[in-house]
Amino acid sequence: MKKMMKKLALAVACVTTVAMFAACGGKEEENVIKFGTNAEFPPFEFVAANGVIGEYDGIDMAIAKNIGDEIGKTAQIENMEFDSLLLALQNGQVDAVIAGMTIDPERAEEVNFSVPYYTAKQVMIVKEDSTIAKATDMADKKIVVIQGYTGESCVKEMGYAYEAFKKGSEAIMELVNGKCDVVVIDSATAQKYVGDNEGLKIVEDAEAFSSEEYGIAVNKKNTELLEQINEILTKMIEEGTINELSAKYSEQ
């Protein structure tokens, strides 16, 4: 009888341990680094049949994969709306955000940013026969931006009326279908859209749109991870890996 009780106690203890492991995520979670992104931003992040991380592919996804490899963890992607990313980071739902995200002072109040790893600027995508040649030409035109992107803030600051869409691809469809005159979005993504759709061109205005830098966002409390990411990014920049990745994914 005593023996049986002992066995039972052991079994209960085991079950409890297993349950506890599962509840706290257990060992498995410790070996995972979760990146939040919004996979609607080629060539940085998009859904593909065979991505570098599961169904996710692009420059940022390759960077995330490499960060995971370097720190000995499996990189996982949580795909969500762009607007939800920083909140998810603050809630601890993800460990870092990699989303072609421009380092800006407002965001930097909420989260920490890594060293910059890519320089971009806002551009205007218009129909090939458009008369828009500079930002001020947008004044009386139908402007479309993507909700929460820096392009939206730029147009807002210029004081022009606009409509905001959730996805770049939706915005481009509006333009292709002649329902708007111009889409304001980041340069490399604009190149992709213009390459994939006939009859569009890019118009730049360096005076109206200053350059932007992309960084990886980390929770303010997680300075250790920020340091690790900075070290890895710096190495990737110095060794030319990021340039190679951006060339590879821009050509595709």
Where along the sequence are the contacts to ligand ARG (CB under 6 A)? Answer: 37-38, 40-41, 45, 82, 99-102, 149-150, 186
Smallest distance from ligand ARG to CB 186, Å? 5
Minimum CB distance to ligand ARG, residue 5 (Å) = 58
- Whether the CB-CB separation of 94 and 34 falls below 8 Å is answered with yes
Cβ proximity to ligand ARG: between 181 and 186 the closer is: 186
Least separation in angstroms between CB 102 and ligand ARG: 4
Taking the least distance from each CB to ligand ARG, the nearer of 121 and 229 is 121
Q: Smallest Cα–Cα separation from 33: which of 89, 104, 81, 101?
A: 89
Count CA within 13 A, CB hemisphere, residue 65.
Answer: 17
**Given the complex with ligand ARG, which of 13 and 206 has the nearer CB atom?**
206
Q: How many helices (H) and strands (E) does the chain have?
A: 10, 14
- Looking at the Cβ atoms of 46 and 160, the one nearer to ligand ARG is 46
Least distance to ligand ARG, CB of residue 18, Å = 38
Pairing relation of β-strands 217-218 and 32-37? unpaired
Query: CA 43, CA 223: separation in Å to the nearest integer?
Result: 29
Q: How far is the CB of 15 from ligand ARG (least distance, A)?
A: 43
Nearer to ligand ARG, 38 or 230 (CB): 38
Helices 187-196 and 168-176, packing angle to 10 deg: 50
